[in-house]
């Protein structure tokens, strides 16, 4: 009967362990890379327009200007920023009547009368 030397088993075990460590390292590296890519994509989507200095105002083909609502905007703040010297109440009332309410959402496009 043939006997296995303890050194042979130790080498086999070390080879298996080193392969497992290498495999786990590769999986962790790929996972970290995917997480980093997701974070970069999220920053580009959510902060890109603000970092590039893009304005929320766009010229409209109808009378007035088109405004893209940003998080934290209110009708009052939008109208007041557009024309700081005027009373914003009539314009806010006109927009609210057209929207059937004063609730606006980020990303929504609203037309500011001129």
- Total-model pTM: 0.45
89 and 66 belong to one structural domain: yes
Q: Report pLDDT digits (tens) over 84-101.
A: 888 889 988 998 888 888
Domain end (from 31, 52, 73): 52
Give the whole-angstrom CA distance, residue 95 versus residue 104: 11
Q: How far is CA 55 from CA 14, 58, 75, 87, in A?
A: 61, 8, 17, 23
> Which residues are CB-neighbours of 35 under 8 A, at least 6 positions away?
none
Contacts of 76 (CB under 8 A, 6+ apart): 88, 92
Count CB neighbours of 95 within 10 A.
21
pLDDT of residue 71: 92
Do 63 and 98 sit in the same domain of this protein? yes
- 56-73 pLDDT, tens digit each: 545 544 567 888 999 999
Q: Are residues 45 and 65 in the same domain?
A: no
Domain range for 92 is 57-112
- How remote is the C-alpha of 106 from its chain's centroid? 12
pLDDT tens track for 14-48: 666 666 666 666 667 777 777 877 877 777 777 66
Do 44 and 65 share a structural domain?
A: no
Q: Are residues 42 and 63 in the same domain?
A: no
Residue 65 pairs with which residues in a beta bridge?
59, 112
Last-in-domain residue among 10, 27, 52: 52
Tell me, yes or no, whether 6 and 40 share the same domain: yes
CATH number at residue 75: 3.10.350
45 and 9 part of one domain: yes
d(CA 57, CA 65): 7
Distance from C-alpha of 3 to C-alpha of 49, rounded to nearest angstrom? 71
The total of structural domains in the chain comes to 2
- 100 or 55, which is more confident: 100
Together in a domain, 33 and 79: no
Q: Are residues 30 and 43 in the same domain?
A: yes
Judged against a pLDDT cut of 80, whether residue 81 lies above it is answered with yes
């Amino acid at each position: 009967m043939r006997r296995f030397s303890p050194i042979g088993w130790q080498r086999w075990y070390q080879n298996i362990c080193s392969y497992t460590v290498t495999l786990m390292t590769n999986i962790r590296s790929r996972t970290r890379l995917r997480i980093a890519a997701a974070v970069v994509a999220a920053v580009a989507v959510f902060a890109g327009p603000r970092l590039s200095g893009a304005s929320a105002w766009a010229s409209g083909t109808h009378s007035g200007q088109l405004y893209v609502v940003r998080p934290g905007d209110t009708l009052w703040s939008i109208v007041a920023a557009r024309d700081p010297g005027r009373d914003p109440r009539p314009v806010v009332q006109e927009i609210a009547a057209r929207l059937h309410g004063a609730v606006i959402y980020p990303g929504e496009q609203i037309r500011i009368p001129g």
